Amino acid sequence: MRRLIYLSACLSLTLFTACHGRQAHDPVPDPAKTYPFTHGDSLIQGTIADPAILNPVLASDSASFAVTGLVFNSLLRYDKNLNLEGELAERWEVSPDGKLITFHLRKNITFHDGQPLTAADVQFTLETYLNPKVKTAYRSNYTSISKFKALDALTFRVWYQEPFAPALQSLAGMSILPKHLLADKDINTADAFNNHPIGSGPYVFKSWKRAEAVTLESNPHYFEGRPGLQRLIFRIIPDMSVQYLELQNGALDTMDLTPSQFNREGNQPAFLQRFNKYRYLAPQYTYLGFNLKNPLFQDIRVRRAIGLAINRQALVDSVLEGLGTVGTGPYTPSSWAYPTDARTLPFDPAAAKQLLMEAGFTYTPDGRLQKNGKSVAFTILTNQGNLNREQTATIIQAQLKAIGMDVQIRIIAWSSLLSEFINKRKFDALIMGWSLAQDPDLFDIWHSSKTGEFEFNHVSYVNPQVDALLVEGRRTFDPARRIAVYRQVHALIAADLPYIFLYVPDSLVTVHRRVLGIKVEKAGISYNFIKWFVPREFQKYPEQIQ
Residues 6 or more apart whose CB falls under 8 angstroms from that of 292 comprise: 298, 459, 460, 461, 462, 498
Could you give the count of Cα atoms lying within 13 Å of 255 in the half-sphere of its Cβ? Answer: 32
For residues 43 and 323, give the distance between their C-alpha atoms in angstroms, rounded to a whole number.
Answer: 26
Helix ranges restricted to H, 152-299: 167-172, 179-182, 191-194, 240-248, 259-263, 269-274
Q: Tens-digit pLDDT profile for the chain (546 aa)?
A: 443 222 222 333 333 333 343 445 679 999 999 999 999 999 999 999 999 999 999 999 999 999 999 999 999 999 999 999 999 999 999 999 999 999 999 999 999 999 999 999 999 999 999 999 999 999 999 999 999 999 999 999 999 999 999 999 999 999 999 999 999 999 999 999 999 999 999 999 999 999 999 999 999 999 999 999 999 999 999 999 999 999 999 999 999 999 999 999 999 999 999 999 999 998 999 999 999 999 999 999 999 999 999 999 999 999 999 999 999 999 999 999 999 999 999 999 999 999 999 999 999 999 999 999 999 999 999 999 999 999 999 999 999 999 999 999 999 999 899 999 999 999 999 999 999 988 999 999 999 999 998 899 999 999 999 999 999 999 999 999 999 999 999 999 999 999 999 999 999 999 999 999 999 999 999 999 999 999 999 999 876 544
Measured between alpha carbons, how far is 215 from 7 in angstroms, rounded to an integer? 9
Co-location of 62 and 87 in the same domain: no
Residue 438 and residue 303 in one domain:
yes
- Whether residue 196 is contained in a domain is answered as no
The CATH number covering residue 409 comes to 3.10.105.10
Both 501 and 524 in a single domain? no
Residue 369's beta-bridge partner residues?
Answer: 363
- Residue 37 belongs to domain with CATH number: 3.40.190.10
Longest Cα–Cα distance in the chain? 77
CA distances, 527 to each of 132, 280, 282, 499, 518 (Å): 33, 13, 13, 30, 9
Sign of the CA dihedral running 303, 309, 313, 314 = negative
Whether 127 and 160 have beta carbons less than 8 Å apart is answered as: no
Q: How many CB atoms lie within 10 A of CB 277?
A: 16
| CA distance linking residue 265 with residue 116, whole number of Å | 49
Letter for the amino acid at 506? D
Does a structural domain hold residue 4?
no
Domain end: 133, 149, 182, which one?
182
How many other C-beta atoms can be found within 10 angstroms of the C-beta atom of residue 186? Answer: 10
> In this structure, are 301 and 223 located in the same domain?
no
Separation CA 179–CA 177 (nearest Å)? 6
Quick check: is 194 in a domain? no
Phi, psi of 168 (to 5 degrees): -65, -40
Buried b or exposed e, range 208-224, using 16+ CB within 10 angstroms = beeebbbbbbbbeebbe
Same domain, 254 and 322: no
Domain count, the chain: 3
pLDDT, residue 220, reads 97
The range of the structural domain enclosing residue 402 comes to 284-505
User: Is 318 within a domain?
Assistant: yes
Is residue 188 included in any domain, yes or no? no
Domain-embedded: residue 386: yes
Domain final residue, candidates 149, 182, 215: 182
Residue 132: the pLDDT is 96
Mapped onto helix, strand or coil, the DSSP state of residue 255 is strand
Helix ranges, 42-178 (H):
62-71, 119-130, 167-172
pTM of the full structure:
0.91
Q: 110: which DSSP letter?
A: B
Q: Do 276 and 288 have their domain in common? A: no
Residue 316 host element (H or E)? helix 312-318
**What's the order of all strands across the beta sheet hosting 362-363?**
362-363, 369-371, 374-375
Partner residues linked to 434 by β-bridges: 285
Strands, E, within 476-516: which ranges? 499-505, 507-512
Domain boundary residue, one of 182, 215, 247: 182
pLDDT of residue 282: 86
Q: What CATH number should be reported for the domain holding residue 173?
A: 3.90.76.10
Report the distance separating Cα 315 and Cα 304, nearest Å.
18
Q: Do 29 and 133 fall into the same domain? A: no
- 102 in a domain, yes or no? yes
Please indicate, yes or no, whether residues 461 and 396 belong to a single structural domain of this protein: yes
Residues 172 and 81 in one domain: yes
At residue 545, the pLDDT reads 45
Q: Is the domain of 104 the same as that of 250?
A: no
> Is 8 a domain residue?
no
Q: What is the H or E stretch that residue 151 is in?
A: strand 145-152
**What secondary structure letter does DSSP report for 234?**
E
Examine the domain organization and report whether 37 and 156 are in the same domain.
no
Residues 296 and 404 in one domain: yes
Tell me if 431 sits within 8 A of 389, measured CB to CB.
Answer: yes
What secondary structure does DSSP assign to 451-477, as a single string?
-STTSS-TT----HHHHHHHHHHHH--
Q: How far apart are CA 218 and CA 241, in angstroms?
A: 30
